[in-house]
């Protein structure tokens, strides 16, 4: 059986079932094999009576010893009760509204009942038990698949079984690696993850597949890196006007910025393509670094592109570029989703021409119909919001352009090495001088008024205020303060004669921009917002950030939000309002109030929450990790990367062949396990 064929080729899979499988993302046999259970149900059979705890499902072989009369409950349900014997104990089997159930049970015969058996005095009770199969094994592990629609575990189990009966999965890891780490082969691993014989077998299968994912992931990045290294890029000269630009800036660059600019200019000059990550905490001044890099490329006669994750941010970068490049004759355009059709057409034609210019934009830049010519440098801001695929789409619009990615999410160094191992890394590790420390405080819910009084004081001093809530519409169940509700509340009381505006993700980009624009011009004093304000917005006059329900946010996110204030010369505050009843929350809030070091905070956040959640890695599917977690499985990752590296650098003929096979199958299958 060829694993590349569509599921409809399977026996018993007609058009209807095919459609249902497609909805779960299963198109080919290959997808089916890699459609792992999300969980398992462990069923133990014929345990001793004193081990029965009512928590786990069990299979017990019970003998029918009698029938009770049906009972009618107040709500009109009919309960049928059958009495069984289990190793000398009486078991009451109860069924609701199944009047004919006793026809299935003959007196004195034995049946395997599956269910949770609870103790009730001397009796055991089980409600709506299923009748298990006679040949129940010692212990059974039933896979639970992540299903959509009316697919059920039975159907999917049946077709996966059919596939497993007809395929042999060839291993693609060299035997010496398997032996070295004492791993089972791929074929067994795939079989065991679907239908484990026991818990030990299951955990071996998981380890092997985690290794597989992380090995493939490492291969992917290492190959990409090798590829870029060997790519001839454009060699840009250092343009004379660079000095004039630096002199015209309203501030002098910090040492940290200068160092990073130097790294970048060196890359630009080299004959290889640049592929660099710039990490710098919020407010460290990444934008100017990006603009200098773009300036040099444009002055060398090429097109530079700057991509931001939101329109607000793209807009801000555009305005900043206009200001910084004012005296330097640089053509600048802004392309976003809300650019009018007519404008879009004009800008696209211009980009396609390939005359030296700067184009700033959002995802609109990577739409298929945007054609670049002469693209020299691609910069993506706030990289953690984009996936590798999106980055690649922009890169592929040019012929070997230089690539710079910027992020404010401080990723602990070890992790960064693995996550971005295809990139060189520069870090802006100091903030510009004169930044005031942000006074961060935690207020419990009943101290909220103090927070708003503080905000009023700041407004009296001429400052501005951000208030952030986690949700847009009120959700009674979660009792979160929604933007709208809070607006009404504050308008009635604290801010009755102050101009307040709302900002949230469901608004049109144009409306959002208008509000941010007014806030920047200090016409609006208070913005009540969801986290759309999180990345990049720069309003130095804002001095206080109030975060409602702060316990609902990740620490890295709180740190990002806090970074919206303290950007000017004023004393600034970040007030975290919330409920810190449990220990973990208390600890998290304490980290926030005592530290302003983004790296430290993110490391703590990682420890408390795990990498998958923090970076949305698992959800993005972008790097193809399903079972493995980069942070939790860092030990496996280290080994996998080490082996991948060895394999790539090996000169042995066998290995060179293997390596090329693996890289081909990585290309062919977007997902992580490659086997033929």
Q: Which residues bind ligand ADP (CB under 6 A)?
A: 251, 253-254, 257, 280, 282-288, 408, 432, 536, 538, 540, 567
Nearest approach in angstroms of CB 286 to ligand ADP is: 4
CB 18 within 8 A of CB 8: yes
Nearest approach in angstroms of CB 317 to ligand ADP is: 9
Instruction: Output phi, psi for 440, to 5 deg.
Output: -105, 130
Dist CA 581 CA 599 (whole Å): 26
26 vs 306 by CB, closer to Mg ion:
306
Nearest approach in angstroms of CB 170 to ligand ADP is: 49
Nearest approach in angstroms of CB 312 to ligand ADP is: 12
Instruction: Output phi, psi for 577, to 5 deg.
Output: -100, 140
Q: Which two tokens stand for residue 66?
A: 């009698």
CB 436 within 8 A of CB 514: no
Nearest to 549 by CA among 588, 516, 519: 588
- On the CB side of 242, CA atoms within 13 Å amount to 17
Dist CA 340 CA 263 (whole Å): 38
Picked from ligand ADP, Mg ion, none, the partner binding residue 567 (CB below 5 to 8 A depending on kind) is: ligand ADP
Picked from Mg ion, ligand ADP, none, the partner binding residue 538 (CB below 5 to 8 A depending on kind) is: ligand ADP
52 vs 321 by CB, closer to ligand ADP:
321
DSSP notation for 502-528 = EE-TTS-HHHHHHHHHHHHTTS--EEE
Picked from ligand ADP, Mg ion, none, the partner binding residue 198 (CB below 5 to 8 A depending on kind) is: none
CB 361 within 8 A of CB 308: yes
Nearest to 80 by CA among 118, 119, 131, 126: 126
Picked from Mg ion, ligand ADP, none, the partner binding residue 132 (CB below 5 to 8 A depending on kind) is: none
DSSP notation for 601-616 = HHHHHHHHH-HHHHHT
Cβ neighbourhood burial of 634 (10 Å; 0-12, 13-18, 19+): middle
CB 494 within 8 A of CB 480: no
284 vs 464 by CB, closer to ligand ADP:
284
Picked from Mg ion, ligand ADP, none, the partner binding residue 253 (CB below 5 to 8 A depending on kind) is: ligand ADP
Q: What is the CB neighbour count within 10 angstroms for residue 353?
A: 12
Picked from ligand ADP, Mg ion, none, the partner binding residue 363 (CB below 5 to 8 A depending on kind) is: none
Picked from Mg ion, ligand ADP, none, the partner binding residue 328 (CB below 5 to 8 A depending on kind) is: none
Dist CA 188 CA 203 (whole Å): 12
Nearest approach in angstroms of CB 282 to Mg ion is: 7
285 vs 578 by CB, closer to Mg ion:
285
Nearest approach in angstroms of CB 559 to ligand ADP is: 11
Minimal CB distance to Mg ion: which residue? 536
Nearest approach in angstroms of CB 435 to ligand ADP is: 8
Enumerate residues 6+ apart whose C-beta is below 8 A from 212: 173, 186, 189, 672, 673
Nearest approach in angstroms of CB 347 to Mg ion is: 23
Nearest to 354 by CA among 302, 390, 431, 313: 302
59 vs 282 by CB, closer to ligand ADP:
282
Dist CA 320 CA 265 (whole Å): 21
Picked from ligand ADP, Mg ion, none, the partner binding residue 280 (CB below 5 to 8 A depending on kind) is: ligand ADP
26 vs 408 by CB, closer to ligand ADP:
408
Picked from Mg ion, ligand ADP, none, the partner binding residue 285 (CB below 5 to 8 A depending on kind) is: ligand ADP
Q: Which two tokens stand for residue 668?
A: 């062919």
Exposure string (b/e) for 418-448, b if CB count within 10 Å is 16 or more? bbbbbbebbbbbbbbeebeebbbbbbeeeeb
Picked from ligand ADP, Mg ion, none, the partner binding residue 282 (CB below 5 to 8 A depending on kind) is: ligand ADP
Nearest approach in angstroms of CB 285 to ligand ADP is: 3
DSSP-assigned letter for residue 364: G
Dist CA 669 CA 29 (whole Å): 12
Nearest approach in angstroms of CB 538 to ligand ADP is: 5
198 vs 540 by CB, closer to ligand ADP:
540
Picked from ligand ADP, Mg ion, none, the partner binding residue 251 (CB below 5 to 8 A depending on kind) is: ligand ADP
Enumerate residues 6+ apart whose C-beta is below 8 A from 382: 308, 309, 313, 406, 407, 408, 535, 536
Picked from ligand ADP, Mg ion, none, the partner binding residue 288 (CB below 5 to 8 A depending on kind) is: ligand ADP
Q: Which two tokens stand for residue 198?
A: 């026991």
Dist CA 180 CA 171 (whole Å): 15
254 vs 663 by CB, closer to ligand ADP:
254
Nearest to 290 by CA among 335, 326, 329, 245: 245
28 vs 572 by CB, closer to Mg ion:
572
3-state helix, strand, coil in the chain (%, to 5): 45, 20, 40
Minimal CB distance to ligand ADP: which residue? 285
409 vs 550 by CB, closer to ligand ADP:
409
223 vs 427 by CB, closer to ligand ADP:
427
Nearest approach in angstroms of CB 433 to ligand ADP is: 7
196 vs 566 by CB, closer to ligand ADP:
566
Enumerate residues 6+ apart whose C-beta is below 8 A from 202: 40, 141, 192, 193, 196
Picked from Mg ion, ligand ADP, none, the partner binding residue 283 (CB below 5 to 8 A depending on kind) is: ligand ADP
Nearest approach in angstroms of CB 283 to Mg ion is: 8
CB 47 within 8 A of CB 112: no
Site string for Mg ion, 10-29 (x = CB under 5 A): --------------------
Site string for Mg ion, 522-551 (x = CB under 5 A): --------------x---------------
Nearest approach in angstroms of CB 309 to Mg ion is: 10
221 vs 394 by CB, closer to Mg ion:
394
Cβ neighbourhood burial of 527 (10 Å; 0-12, 13-18, 19+): buried
Picked from Mg ion, ligand ADP, none, the partner binding residue 634 (CB below 5 to 8 A depending on kind) is: none
Q: Which residues pair with 41 in a beta bridge?
A: 142
Nearest approach in angstroms of CB 281 to ligand ADP is: 7
CB 7 within 8 A of CB 18: yes
219 vs 404 by CB, closer to ligand ADP:
404
Binding site for Mg ion (CB under 5 A): 536
């Amino acid at each position: 059986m060829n694993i590349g064929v569509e599921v409809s080729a399977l026996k018993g899979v007609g058009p209807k079932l095919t459609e249902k499988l497609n909805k779960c993302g299963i198109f080919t046999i290959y997808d089916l094999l890699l459609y792992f259970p999300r969980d398992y149900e462990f069923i133990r059979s014929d345990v001793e009576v004193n081990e029965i705890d009512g928590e786990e499902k069990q299979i017990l072989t019970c003998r029918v010893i009698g029938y009770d009369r049906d009972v009618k409950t107040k709500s009109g349900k009919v309960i049928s009760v059958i009495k069984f014997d289990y190793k000398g104990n009486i078991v009451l089997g109860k069924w609701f509204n199944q009047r004919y159930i006793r026809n299935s049970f003959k007196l004195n015969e034995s049946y395997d009942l599956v269910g949770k058996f609870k103790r009730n005095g001397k009796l055991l009770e089980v409600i709506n038990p299923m009748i298990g199969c006679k040949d129940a094994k010692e212990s059974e592990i039933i896979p639970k698949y992540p299903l959509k629609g009316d697919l059920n575990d039975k159907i999917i189990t049946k077709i996966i079984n059919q596939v497993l009966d007809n395929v042999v999965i060839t291993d693609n890891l060299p035997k010496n690696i398997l032996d070295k780490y004492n791993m089972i082969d791929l074929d067994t691993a795939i079989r065991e993850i679907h239908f484990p014989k026991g818990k030990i077998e299951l955990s071996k299968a998981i380890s092997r597949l985690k290794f597989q994912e992380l090995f493939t992931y490492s291969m992917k990045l290492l190959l990409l890196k090798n590829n870029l290294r060997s790519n001839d890029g454009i060699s840009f000269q250092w343009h004379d006007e660079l000095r004039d630009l630096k002199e015209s800036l309203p501030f002098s660059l910090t040492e940290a910025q200068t160092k990073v600019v130097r790294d970048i200019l060196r890359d630009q000059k080299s004959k290889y393509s640049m592929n660099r990550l710039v990490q710098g905490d919020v407010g460290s001044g990444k934008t100017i670094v990006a603009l200098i890099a773009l300036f040099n490329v444009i002055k060398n006669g090429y097109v530079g592109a700057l991509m931001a994750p939101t329109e607000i941010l793209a807009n801000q970068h555009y305005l900043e570029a206009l200001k910084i490049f004012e005296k330097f004759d640089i053509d600048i355009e802004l392309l976003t989703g809300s650019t009018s059709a007519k404008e879009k057409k004009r800008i696209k034609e211009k980009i396609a021409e390939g005359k030296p210019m700067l184009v700033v934009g959002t995802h609109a830049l990577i739409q298929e119909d945007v054609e670049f010519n002469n693209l020299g440098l691609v910069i993506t801001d706030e990289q953690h919001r984009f996936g590798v695929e999106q980055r690649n789409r922009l890169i592929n619009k040019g012929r070997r352009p230089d690539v710079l990615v910027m992020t404010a999410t401080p990723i602990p160094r070890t992790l960064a090495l693995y996550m971005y191992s295809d990139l060189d890394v520069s870090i802006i590790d100091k903030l510009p001088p004169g930044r005031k420390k942000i006074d961060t405080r935690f207020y419990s819910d009943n101290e909220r008024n103090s927070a708003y009084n503080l905000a009023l004081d700041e407004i009296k001093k001429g400052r501005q205020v951000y208030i952030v809530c986690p949700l847009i519409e009120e959700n009674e169940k979660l009792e979160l303060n929604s933007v709208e509700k809070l607006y009404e509340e504050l308008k009635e009381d604290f801010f009755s004669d102050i101009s307040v505006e709302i900002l949230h993700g469901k608004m049109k980009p144009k409306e959002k921009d208008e509000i941010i624009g007014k806030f920047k011009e200090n016409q609006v004093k208070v913005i009540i917002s969801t986290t759309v304000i999180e990345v990049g917005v720069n309003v130095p006059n804002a001095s206080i950030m109030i975060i409602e329900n702060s316990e609902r946010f990740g620490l890295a996110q709180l740190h990002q939000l806090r970074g919206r204030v303290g950007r000017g010369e004023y004393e600034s505050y970040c007030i975290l309002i919330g409920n810190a009843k449990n220990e973990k929350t208390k600890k998290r809030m304490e980290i926030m109030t005592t530290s302003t070091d983004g790296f430290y905070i993110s490391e703590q956040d990682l420890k408390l929450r795990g990498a998958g959640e923090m970076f949305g890695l698992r959800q993005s599917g972008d790097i193809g990790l399903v079972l493995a977690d980069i942070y939790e499985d860092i030990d496996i990752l280290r080994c996998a990367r080490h082996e991948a590296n060895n394999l790539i650098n090996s000169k042995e003929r066998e290995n060179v062949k293997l390596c090329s096979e693996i890289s081909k199958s990585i290309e062919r299958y977007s997902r992580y396990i490659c086997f033929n």
